[in-house]
C-alpha cells in the first residue's frame, strides 16, 4: 500500500476534508433523534409549545448541516478518487510504454487492457465508496453508541450482547459466501469462454456436425453455473433474515427493559423512542461495514492486478548504457556468437477472469521453442556470427520457426541476446540509449498495425515534421502513392482501427512508407511484402536500391524472388545459419536453399521473370 501514498499526496486535502465532512454529516444524523427525544421529554411533558418550536428550528439547522456536509463530502471524495485513479492510470500507461517486447509477451494484450480499464474503474469505485462510507459507518456506529450510552447506560448493555453476536453471524455468512462467489465467477467465466468459442468456431462446428457435442458441453457448463450460483446466493440470502432477527430482538429487549424502567419512573418515554432509533442506526451501520469489507475484498483483486504492473521491472532498459549520446551513423551490423532464447513465459500469474474478448497481438515471433521433451538445446538462435557492411542489402530465408524474426529483433534491441553481442557501428546495442538506437533502426514488423487516423498521420509516425512532399515521396518509394492518390480523400483517408479498410498488400506498403520516413540507417523488413504482388515488390526493391543506397537493408522473405537480387542471402535452419552467399552461389552449393527454391519454382522450369 505504501507505494500508493504518493498518488494520494496531490489530493491530500480532498482525502482529509472529504471524510471530515462525512463525519459532520454523521453528527447531524445522530443529533436529530436526540433533539426529538428532548421534544417529547421536555416539550410534550411540560406542555411547552415554544420549546418544541425552538428545538424544531435546531433540528432544521441540523438537517441543513447534514445535507450540506453530505453534498460537500461527496464532492471531495469524488475529487479525491478520480484524481487518485486518474494519476495511477497515467502512471500505469507510462509503465507499459517502458515495457520490453518480452514483457509485452508475458502480459497478454487483453489482460493489460483490462488492468488499465476495468480494474482501475473498480479501484476508483472502491476509493470513492471508501471515503464516503468507511468513516460514515464507523462514525454512525460510534456516534450511535455514545448517544445510546448517554441516554441510558444500562440499556446500552443490550448492544454489548447483540453486536458481537451479529458480528459473528455476518462474518460466518461472508466467510462461507466469499469462496462460493469466487467459484460462481469461475463457472461464469467458463460458460462465457465456452460460448465465445462456439460462436467463433461456428463454421467448424457446423462443418464437422458437432452441434450436439457443443450442446452437451454447454449444458454441462450451464448446469454447473446454476448450481454454483445457487450455492452462493443461498448463503447470502441468510443475511437479511439474520440481520432483521437481531434488530428485532434488540428492539424487543429495549422495549422490555426500557418499558420496565419507565414504569419504575427511572427513564423518560422520549428516550425509549430515541433509543430504538439509535439501535437501528448502529446495527445498520454494522451491516454496511460488513458490506464495505466484502466489496473491498473484491477490489483487492483489482489492486493486486494493477500493482503487478506497477511493480513490474521491465527486463530491458538503457539505464546502464555506456554511450547514451551515441547515434547510429553508418549502419554496420555485427553478430558475435549470438545465442538467444525467449524468456520463460510464465513470469506473470495472469488470471484473465474479467478480460474482454480480445485477440492476443501477434507476438511477432515464430515458433517458441522451450526446453523440449528430451532436454535438447532448443534455443531459438544458436551461436550466430556474421557482419553486414553499411549500405548492403541482405536477404534472410528459412522455414517457419527457424529464428529469422528473432534474429533481426535483436538489432533494435526488441529483445536482448542471451549470449554473445550484437554490435551496430561497432558499439554493443546495449550501450546505446534505446531512443537513439531505435531512431537509427527502422523496422517493419511481421504483424503490423496501422492506427486510427488519416493515412498521412499514420505515415508521419516516422517523422512528425515531414512535409507533404516528403510524405508523398516516401509513399512513392513504397509504391503506395498510386493507390492512396486513387482514394477520394487521398492522404486524408481515415484508417479504421486495425487498418481494416485497406487490403493486406496496401497495408504492408503503408507500413513500409512509414518506416522509410524515419530515414533510418538500418532498415529491416520482416516478411513485409508477403501480400504484395511480385511486380510491385520488384519496384519497391528497385526504389530501395536507387534511393536508399546508404541504408543497410535486411529483408526477411518467404518468396525467393523477394531476395534473389540481394547482395547476400542468409539461409537459416533451426536457429543456425546454414549458409551465406549470393543467389548464384547458394543455388549451386546450399541444399536448404535449393529445397526452398524448388518448392517455389518447378524443377528444370525457370519462369521468365
Partner 1 sequence: MTRKEKLTASLERRYGKRVAAGGRGGGPGGNAARAKGKPANVGKTIRRLMVYVMREKARLAGAIICVLISTLSSLAASYMLRPIINTYIVPVDGSRGDPAGLFRALLVMFAVYMAGIVATYLQARLLTRVGQNSLQRMREDLFAHMQELPVKFYDTNTRGDLMSRFTNDIDNVGNMLSSTLISVFTAALTLAGTLALMLYTNVTLTIVTVLVVPLMLMAVRRIAGASAKYYAMQQSSLGQLNGYIEESITGQKVIKVFNHEGTTMEEFNILNEKLKAHQIKAQFFGGLMGPVMNCSTQLTYTLTSVVGGILCVARGFDIGGLTVFLNYSRQFGRPINEIAMTTTAIFSALAGAERVFAILDAEPETPDDADAYVPQPMRGDVVMEHVSFGYNEDHMVLKDINLYAHPGQKIAFVGSTGAGKTTVMNLLPRFYDVKKGSITIDGVEIRHYNRDELRKNIAMVLQESHLFSGTIMENIRYGRLDATDEEVIEAAKTASADAFIRHLPKGYQTEIDGDGSNLSQGQRQLLNIARASVSRAPVLILDEATSSVDTRTEQLINEGMHHLMDNRTTFVIAHRLSTVRDANAIMVLEHGEIIERGTHEDLLAMKGRYYELYTGKAELD
Residue 223 is a binding residue for partner 1 (CB under 8 A):
yes
Q: Shortest distance, CB of residue 126 to partner 1, whole angstroms?
A: 12
Residue 101 is a binding residue for partner 1 (CB under 8 A):
yes
d(CA 258, CA 244): 20
Range 420-449, binding partner 1 (CB under 8 A): 434-435, 438-439, 442-443, 445, 448-449
Range 545-604, binding partner 1 (CB under 8 A): 558-559, 561, 595-596, 599-600, 602
Residue 272 is a binding residue for partner 1 (CB under 8 A):
yes
Q: Which of 106, 334, 366, 476 binds partner 1 (CB under 8 A)?
A: 366
Range 18-47, binding partner 1 (CB under 8 A): 25, 28-29, 32-33, 35-36, 39-40, 43-44, 47
Nearest to partner 1 of 336, 545 (CB atom):
545
Q: Which of 2, 3, 5, 97 binds partner 1 (CB under 8 A)?
A: 97
Nearest to partner 1 of 2, 376 (CB atom):
376
Nearest to partner 1 of 261, 336 (CB atom):
261
Residue 260 is a binding residue for partner 1 (CB under 8 A):
yes
Size of the site for partner 1 (CB under 8 A): 178
Range 306-365, binding partner 1 (CB under 8 A): 357-362, 364-365
Give the β-pairing of 576-581 and 552-556: unpaired
Q: Which of 434, 407, 422, 435 is nearest to 342 (CA)?
A: 407
d(CA 309, CA 99): 10
Range 484-523, binding partner 1 (CB under 8 A): 494, 497-498, 503-506, 514, 518
What is the H or E stretch that residue 311 is in?
helix 269-311
Range 49-88, binding partner 1 (CB under 8 A): 49, 52-53, 55-56, 59-60, 62-63, 66-67, 70-71, 73-75, 77-79, 81-83, 86
Q: Shortest distance, CB of residue 564 to partner 1, whole angstroms?
A: 12
145 CB neighbour count, 10 Å cutoff: 20
Q: Which of 5, 207, 320, 467 binds partner 1 (CB under 8 A)?
A: 207
Task: Map grid coordinates 456516534 to a residue.
Answer: 143
Candidate ranges 155-163, 257-265, 320-328, 546-554; the one touching partner 1 (CB under 8 A): 257-265
Q: Shortest distance, CB of residue 499 to partner 1, whole angstroms?
A: 10
Q: Shortest distance, CB of residue 548 to partner 1, whole angstroms?
A: 18
Which cell numbers in the block locate residue 277?
Answer: 432509533
Burial zone of 48 (CB within 10 Å; 0-12 exposed, 13-18 middle, 19+ buried):
middle
Query: Which SS3 state, helix, strand or coil, does residue 453 take?
Result: strand
Q: Shortest distance, CB of residue 304 to partner 1, whole angstroms?
A: 20
Task: Map grid coordinates 554496420 to a residue.
Answer: 332
Contact map string, positions 388 to 427, toward partner 1, x by CB under 8 A: ----------xxxx----------x-x-------------
221-247 exposure pattern, b = at least 16 Cβ within 10 A, e = fewer: bbebbeebbebbeebbeebeebbeebb
Residue 172 is a binding residue for partner 1 (CB under 8 A):
no
Q: Shortest distance, CB of residue 192 to partner 1, whole angstroms?
A: 6
**In this structure, what are the phi and psi dihedrals at residue 524, rounded to the nearest 5 degrees?**
-115, 125
DSSP state of 203: H
d(CA 452, CA 95): 22
Provide the Cα torsion 292, 293, 294, 295; round to 10°.
50
Contact map string, positions 140 to 159, toward partner 1, x by CB under 8 A: --------------------
Q: For the chain, how long is the longest CA-to-CA vector?
A: 121
Half-sphere exposure of 52 (CA within 13 A, CB side): 10
Q: Shortest distance, CB of residue 117 to partner 1, whole angstroms?
A: 5
Candidate ranges 106-114, 286-294, 299-307, 384-392; the one touching partner 1 (CB under 8 A): 106-114
End-to-end CA distance of the chain: 67
d(CA 16, CA 512): 54
349 CB neighbour count, 10 Å cutoff: 8
Which cell numbers in the block locate residue 469?
Answer: 512532399
Amino acid at each position: 500500500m505504501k507505494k500508493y501514498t504518493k498518488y494520494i499526496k496531490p489530493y491530500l486535502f480532498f482525502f482529509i476534508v472529504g471524510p471530515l465532512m462525512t463525519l459532520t454529516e454523521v453528527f447531524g444524523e445522530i443529533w436529530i433523534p436526540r433533539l426529538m427525544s428532548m421534544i417529547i421529554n421536555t416539550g410534550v411533558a411540560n406542555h411547552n409549545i415554544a420549546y418544541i418550536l425552538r428545538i424544531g428550528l435546531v433540528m432544521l439547522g441540523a438537517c441543513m448541516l447534514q445535507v450540506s456536509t453530505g453534498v460537500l463530502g461527496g464532492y471531495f471524495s469524488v475529487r479525491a478518487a478520480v484524481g487518485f485513479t486518474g494519476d495511477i492510470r497515467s502512471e500505469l500507461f507510462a509503465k507499459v510504454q517502458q515495457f520490453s517486447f518480452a514483457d509485452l509477451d508475458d502480459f497478454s494484450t487483453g489482460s493489460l487492457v483490462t488492468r488499465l480499464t476495468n480494474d482501475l474503474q473498480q479501484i476508483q469505485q472502491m476509493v470513492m465508496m471508501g471515503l464516503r462510507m468507511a468513516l460514515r459507518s464507523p462514525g454512525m456506529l460510534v456516534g450511535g453508541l455514545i448517544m445510546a450510552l448517554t441516554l441510558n447506560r444500562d440499556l446500552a448493555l443490550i448492544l454489548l450482547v447483540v453486536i458481537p453476536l451479529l458480528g459473528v453471524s455476518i462474518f460466518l455468512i461472508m466467510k462461507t459466501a466469499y469462496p462460493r462467489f469466487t467459484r460462481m465467477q469461475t463457472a461464469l467465466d467458463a460458460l462465457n469462454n465456452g460460448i465465445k468459442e462456439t460462436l467463433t468456431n461456428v463454421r467448424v462446428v457446423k462443418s464437422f456436425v458437432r452441434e450436439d457435442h457443443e450442446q452437451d458441453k454447454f449444458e454441462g457448463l450451464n448446469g454447473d453455473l446454476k448450481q454454483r450460483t445457487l450455492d452462493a446466493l443461498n448463503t447470502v440470502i441468510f443475511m437479511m433474515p439474520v440481520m432483521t432477527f437481531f434488530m428485532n430482538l434488540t428492539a424487543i429487549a429495549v422495549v422490555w427493559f426500557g418499558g420496565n424502567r419507565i414504569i419504575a419512573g427511572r427513564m423518560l418515554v422520549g428516550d425509549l423512542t430515541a433509543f430504538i432509533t439509535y439501535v437501528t442506526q448502529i446495527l445498520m451501520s454494522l451491516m454496511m461495514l460488513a458490506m464495505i469489507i466484502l466489496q473491498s475484498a473484491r477490489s483487492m483483486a483489482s489492486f493486486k492486478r494493477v500493482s503487478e504492473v506497477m511493480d513490474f521491472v521491465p527486463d530491458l532498459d538503457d539505464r546502464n548504457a555506456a554511450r547514451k549520446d551515441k547515434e547510429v551513423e553508418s549502419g554496420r551490423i555485427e553478430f558475435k556468437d549470438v545465442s538467444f532464447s525467449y524468456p520463460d513465459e510464465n513470469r506473470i500469474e495472469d488470471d484473465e477472469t474479467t478480460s474482454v474478448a480480445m485477440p492476443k497481438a501477434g507476438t511477432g515471433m515464430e515458433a517458441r521453442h522451450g526446453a523440449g521433451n528430451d532436454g535438447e538445446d532448443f534455443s531459438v538462435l544458436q551461436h550466430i556470427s556474421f557482419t553486414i557492411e553499411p549500405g548492403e542489402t541482405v536477404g534472410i530465408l528459412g522455414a517457419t520457426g527457424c529464428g529469422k524474426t528473432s534474429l533481426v529483433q535483436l538489432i533494435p534491441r526488441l529483445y536482448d541476446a542471451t549470449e554473445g553481442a550484437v554490435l551496430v557501428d561497432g558499439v554493443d546495442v546495449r550501450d546505446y540509449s534505446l531512443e537513439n538506437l531505435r531512431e537509427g533502426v527502422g523496422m517493419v514488423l511481421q504483424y503490423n498495425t496501422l492506427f486510427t487516423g488519416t493515412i498521412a498521420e499514420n505515415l508521419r509516425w516516422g517523422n512528425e515534421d515531414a512535409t507533404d512532399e516528403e510524405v508523398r515521396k516516401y509513399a512513392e518509394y513504397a509504391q503506395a502513392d498510386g493507390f492512396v492518390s486513387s482514394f477520394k480523400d487521398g492522404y486524408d483517408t481515415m484508417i479504421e482501427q486495425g487498418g481494416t479498410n485497406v487490403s493486406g498488400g496496401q497495408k504492408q506498403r503503408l507500413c513500409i512508407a512509414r518506416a522509410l520516413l524515419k530515414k533510418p540507417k538500418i532498415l529491416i523488413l520482416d516478411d513485409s511484402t508477403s501480400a504484395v504482388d511480385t511486380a510491385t515488390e520488384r519496384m519497391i526493391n528497385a526504389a530501395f536500391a536507387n534511393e536508399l543506397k546508404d541504408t543497410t537493408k535486411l529483408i526477411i522473405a518467404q518468396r525467393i524472388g523477394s531476395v534473389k537480387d540481394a547482395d547476400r542471402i542468409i539461409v537459416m535452419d533451426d536457429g543456425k545459419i546454414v549458409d551465406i552467399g549470393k543467389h548464384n552461389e547458394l543455388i549451386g552449393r546450399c541444399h536448404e536453399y535449393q529445397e526452398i527454391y524448388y518448392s517455389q519454382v518447378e524443377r528444370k522450369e525457370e519462369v521468365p521473370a
